[in-house]
Amino acid sequence: MNFVQIAGHLGADPETRFTQSGKKVTTLRVAARSRRGQQDETIWWRVVIWDDQFKNMLPHFKKGSAIIVFGEMNKPEIFNDREGKPQISLEVVAVQLQFSPFGKPSQGTSQETRSSGSYAKPSEPMPGSGYESFSPMAGAPSSSNFDDEVPF
């Protein structure tokens, strides 16, 4: 099993559809930036969510939302884009989703939510992962302290 952690921003609103057998599947497109030498590189991930998993969180995610995804990575697929250049498609089946503390609040949030702080802070590490987990908190710094920009 290849387990990955992705921190990035949504490139589109979540898309929900149903399989022929009636099983619900939601897809997120996540852009994760990484720095290679002096150049930024964006890696796009397709995150798959089955059934009603995370049904209470998904309505809060919109294009540009900061997100952290933990999940099992599927085998990469190689395809040719419209110009005939080979591209790699990366897909993750989500096991855990978290609101990222690094994003700005969305335009749809109320003033009350903004002033009480809708950001997250580090909490207890995930057992055996070596990574910190994030959970919502009140009283976090205001959005003016975060200069994170959406990469698209």
Pick from 58, 139, 142: which is nearest to 105 by CA? 142
pLDDT of residue 144: 41
pLDDT of residue 15: 96
Higher-confidence position of 62 and 141:
62
Domains of the chain: 3-145 (2.40.50.140)
Rounded average pLDDT over 5-31: 96
Q: Answer whether residue 36 shows pLDDT above 60.
A: yes
pLDDT of residue 94: 97
Rounded average pLDDT over 1-30: 95
5-37 in b/e form (b: 16+ CB < 10 A) is: bbbbbbbeebeeeeeeeeeeebebbbbbeeeee
